[in-house]
Structure 1
Amino acid sequence: MIDNWRPRSGFYRHIGRYGEIASVLVKYGFGDLISRLNIERYLSAGKRLFRVGQQKKLSRISRWDRIRMALEELGPTFIKLGQFASNRPDILPSELIDSLEKLQDSVAPFPSQDAHNIIREELGASVNQLFKYFEENPFASASMAQVYQAVLKDGHKVAVKVQRPKIREIIRADLEIMYHLAFLIEKHIQGMEQLNLRQLVNEFSSAINKELDFNAEALHAEQFARNFSGDSRIYIPRVFLHLTGRRVITTEFVDGIKITNVNELIKSGIDPKEIASSGASVVLKQIFEFGFFHADPHAGNLLVKRDKSICFLDLGMTGILSPTSRERLSSIILGIATRDPQRIVKTLYDMSSERVERKEELEYEISELIQEYASRSLRMINIGEVLNKLSRLLVVYRLKMIPGFYLLVKAMATMEGIGYKLDPDFSMIEHVEPFVKKMIADQFSFRHMAKDGVDTLQDFFFLMRDLPSETRDIIQLIKAGRVRIEFEHRGLEPVLKKFSQTINRLVFGVVLASLVIGSSVVILSNIPPKLYGVPLIGIAGFLTAAFMGFGLLVSIIRNEKK
């Protein structure tokens, strides 16, 4: 959450960074956005960096790829924002999501001496004191951290991830700027307020601040290890807690094959189809059984070991689902499998934090969506594709889902894509089906129904206990005349803005007229000092009035062109 934020103070505090952002936006052909957000008068320098030749080159690149390129150039916070936003098909068009998934998170490494200093600050000892051997150059360098290979005093090979210097300060400043830009977009671009971009920035702020704390990643790894203890299909690298801190994490170094490297898997005697099945089952078990899942299981985070177990790396981003959310997700997937739009609509309404009256229209849209897959066999249904299309319908009908919903859609779709690469006949929905059936069966088990009955009775007891006192409070408020009804007007912002603009010009005109009249009186009064027999104060007044009048005229012409 971004606290104590003020638009104007935030702008001037980060004026240099705003200039950099403006320059990048103009460079990639988004100068019109600066004008629409009404900040071009502060950032006009950025526009001068644009060249006609560059404009011709950009015409060959799609708008979506230009957005991705701009984010990459703006640095780590914006790269992470792009990766985070790619999990939200309810907000972004599919073409942009496809482009954001290509974001390059590899950047030039920072000096190893800085890494040594951070290790000393975090762990209280030098690299030579902590490790038997420490590779001088990192084997991976990303936007937020870089990773070194090392050997412990006892001979264990480890991977040491070290956070970039001053990355927290950079991210904090960029988050304030993002929040301000989201505020301006919602204010100046009609229809954007319904996307609730400031809420998206707040969600991103919470997620990236968790990723900045490597202690949290260590706890995630321990949780996964406990959940899957005894399951030979999954491997979680050991975390060395005594060599882990907020900015440094040391884990076991794992040798393995990238999960999508089919040729290497076959050479090693590993059946890719078996890996596809194991990977899907493990991810679905995380979602449906534990409600705690790896939110970014892309190919770079998954290695296959020689014993055919799948190693999950980079556990900084995770998703959480409550038991109720898991039950409702099962109901949605069952509705897809059985072609039952009514079940899907009812479940979506139960999951949504807001109520919408257009229930029949939504049911019709979902019926059309389900009809697209009616002629296909169950194993031919792409569950990730269906859930993504369903997510886009949610924004049309303004149904707000819990954030974890979109993370799990992304996790399932990503794993499904990996499954297709490993096995052309792979079917995610066939792997989902047993989990869904078990969840539905558990809901109607005697134990589950008894627990629900006890919870309902408890809620009813508290309701009846509190009802008299709360009713008395309402009556007292009515008697005291303190009951208020609030009305919310929507769609009036452009009218109010125009009205405010008109009033400002009217006041400006009155001041201008007063200045002209006052200057005329001074000249007629013949008050010294004089220039060529004309009072200087009167001349100054007329010149000021002329300057103000010219400024007002330019402002009117500019606004007429918009």
Structure 2
Amino acid sequence: MLRNSYRLYEIIKIILTYGLDDVIPKKYIFFHLFRKLFFWLSNKHKSMQFSKRLRFTLEKLGPIWIKFGQMLSTRRDLFDNSIINQLENLQNNTTPFDGHKARKCIENSIKSSIDSQFNNFNITPIASASIAQIHTAKLKNGKEVIIKVIRPNIILKIKADIRLMLKIAKLISWISKYGKNLKLISIIKEYEKILLQETNLLYEAVNTMQLRRNFKKSCMLYIPKVYINYCSKTVMVVEKIQGIHINNISILKKYGINMKLLAERGVKIFFAQVFRDNFFHGDMHPGNILVSHKQPNNPKYIAIDCGIIGRLEKLDKYLLAENFIAFFNRDYRKIAKLHIYAGWVDKYTNINDLEIAIRIVCEPIFEKKLSDISFGKILLAFFTATRNFNFSIQPQLILLQKTLFYIEGIGKQLYPKLDLWKTAKPFLENWIKNEIGFIGTLRYLKKKLPFWISYPNIKYQKNMLSRFNLSNQKNKICTSKSINYITFLKLVFLFLLGVVFFLCSIVLTFFQKKTINIFSIVLIIFSICIWLYIWNVLKKLE
């Protein structure tokens, strides 16, 4: 309790000494009366610009607040350039800790001296972030690497802030129905889980390796190689790569990078990670994205810092894809139905009222280009529209929403005329077709059919094992009878499966106005093959 109280006082102290309370209007009398209770904490940086004060405040508050600032740094449509420029400095210029401490941490991790494993270790970090900092070195074989080292005592600081945030969230949820619908407690616990995973560099190492495998043959994205033998919870060694930071627009243009293609590939990479791989980079702020300038007309992204990875359940992906497609088609009633089905709004919601609320938000902005659309403002407006329907924010989608914010900000900077909908829609339609539609059904059958054919045998063996465990006296079975019994079950199952396929072909033909289509033919062929197999087995048994 005392620890949380001290941290709360520390937060208030930092905010007030940097004068961030200056932006609160005078009409909020209660706040200004509360402010007078801390009369000894005056603004000590009055001559400093507000944007700089904001940046220094976030740095002083610690890693959780720094990451919040990193997310805001992509929102040029919400803040003026002076604030954005300062928030961008949070990404690479966080105050580093002593390089000699970093060296000691590395040696403790690899259980050996730096000089015995590396050459040219640079004691001065080349980058410093909220949770770790980066040093350069060379392996003994001459390959250049970067060494990432976790900040000392960072976990204790994160847990202290999370405890305080949970206390505040519980208070807000208790006094406000709006706060309860936000699921603040669940969101903060999920955020804590993500942050603590980020402080364990083994997570980042294996995540990086998986992303590298997912895009091994890709012309759109490159993931650096991890030297896993040197990695631990506090240290990670990765291939050193060269690239241009994604927000350095002037340098990208200087190298003649195809900005339109680069922007489109960014969108495609995002949707491929979410829908194809179900394994997406959850911290895609500009500081973690580089661009290779080796082929300006065939630009390639380079992703680093893969500590935060997101995954979605298949139902979540399906609902997201269907919502996107429905939005593209202006099918607001379907969006309303999907929200009710998913449980994102109260199940007793009047669907007509919800459809109207969604239409009011979406219709006026539907045909605008990405350069004219703010996803942040749309989401805020949509949240406002659905709040009357007990809209419930889903914790599993928070990371995806944050990633979408980053994608929007990057897309706006690279190519303001990028049509996000036009780029994303074919990908989503293809995913639904392959995963949910007829092709997806065939793939599911192909995957499950061997199991279904073997199921009678598995079931039989399971029953026999149960009987054996219950009574050792029943452990002798007539082999020939058991084989015939298993075969009989298989044949019955296959015969029924053939009947189902044949009936499905008839139904499809009926709905196609009695014209046989390719799907009907495929099902009929499956049925014939199954029945021929049954006939062949019966013939052998004779």
Q: TM-score of the superposition, structure 1-length normalised?
A: 0.67
Q: Does 1:206 align with 2:197?
A: no
Residue in 2 that maps onto 1:440: 432
Q: Does 1:19 align with 2:38?
A: no
Deviation at 1:432, TM superposition (A): 0.5
Q: Contact (CA 8 Å) 1:109, 1:141: kept in 2 or not?
A: yes
In 2, distance between residues paired with 1:379 and 1:81? Answer: 24
Q: Contact (CA 8 Å) 1:26, 1:50: kept in 2 or not?
A: yes
Residue in 2 that maps onto 1:133: 120
In 2, distance between residues paired with 1:277 and 1:54? Answer: 46
Alignment coverage as a number of residue pairs? 428
In 1, distance between residues paired with 2:392 and 2:195? Answer: 22
Residue in 2 that maps onto 1:184: 171
Deviation at 1:114, TM superposition (A): 0.8
Deviation at 1:392, TM superposition (A): 5.0
In 1, distance between residues paired with 2:263 and 2:335? Answer: 28
Q: Does 1:330 align with 2:321?
A: yes
| Letter paired with 1:196 | K
Q: Contact (CA 8 Å) 2:131, 2:151: kept in 1 or not?
A: yes
Deviation at 1:435, TM superposition (A): 1.0
| Letter paired with 2:96 | P
| Letter paired with 2:359 | S
Q: Contact (CA 8 Å) 1:383, 1:413: kept in 2 or not?
A: no
Q: Contact (CA 8 Å) 1:122, 1:245: kept in 2 or not?
A: yes
Other structure's SS at 2:147 match: strand
Residue in 1 that maps onto 2:495: none
Match of 1:224 among 197, 203, 211: 211
Change (3 A) 1:21 1:412: closer
Other structure's SS at 1:102 match: helix
Other structure's SS at 1:134 match: coil
Deviation at 1:69, TM superposition (A): 5.9
In 2, distance between residues paired with 1:129 and 1:15? Answer: 47
Residue by residue, what CA displacement relative to the aligned partner does 1:355-383 show, whole Å, maximum 9, x if unpaired? 34333322111111222035x37888848
Change (3 A) 1:245 1:396: farther
Residue in 2 that maps onto 1:559: none
Change (3 A) 1:16 1:122: same
1:377-396 matches, within 5 Å, as 382=373, 384=375, 386=378, 389-391=381-383, 393-396=385-388
Q: Does 1:318 align with 2:303?
A: no
Change (3 A) 1:22 1:338: same
| Letter paired with 2:108 | E
Residue in 2 that maps onto 1:531: none
Match of 2:161 among 147, 155, 174: 174
Other structure's SS at 1:47 match: coil
In 1, distance between residues paired with 2:50 and 2:369? Answer: 39
Other structure's SS at 2:276 match: helix
Q: Contact (CA 8 Å) 1:20, 1:46: kept in 2 or not?
A: no
In 1, distance between residues paired with 2:368 and 2:46? Answer: 48
| Letter paired with 2:203 | A
Residue in 2 that maps onto 1:494: none
Deviation at 1:412, TM superposition (A): 3.1
Residue in 1 that maps onto 2:148: 161
1:20-39 matches, within 5 Å, as 20-27=10-17, 28=19
Other structure's SS at 1:286 match: helix
Q: Does 1:102 align with 2:87?
A: yes
| Letter paired with 1:445 | F
Change (3 A) 1:214 1:26: same
Deviation at 1:425, TM superposition (A): 2.4
Q: CA RMSD in A?
A: 3.8
Change (3 A) 1:71 1:186: farther
Runs of at least 5 residues in structure 1 that lack an aligned partner in the other structure: 1-10, 459-562
Q: Does 1:411 align with 2:393?
A: no
Q: Contact (CA 8 Å) 1:394, 1:400: kept in 2 or not?
A: no
Aligned-residue sequence identity (percent) comes to 26
Q: Does 1:274 align with 2:286?
A: no
Match of 1:235 among 217, 222, 227: 222
| Letter paired with 2:278 | G
Q: Contact (CA 8 Å) 2:20, 2:54: kept in 1 or not?
A: no
Match of 1:309 among 300, 307, 320: 300
Other structure's SS at 2:418 match: coil
Change (3 A) 1:188 1:276: closer
Runs of at least 5 residues in structure 2 that lack an aligned partner in the other structure: 453-542
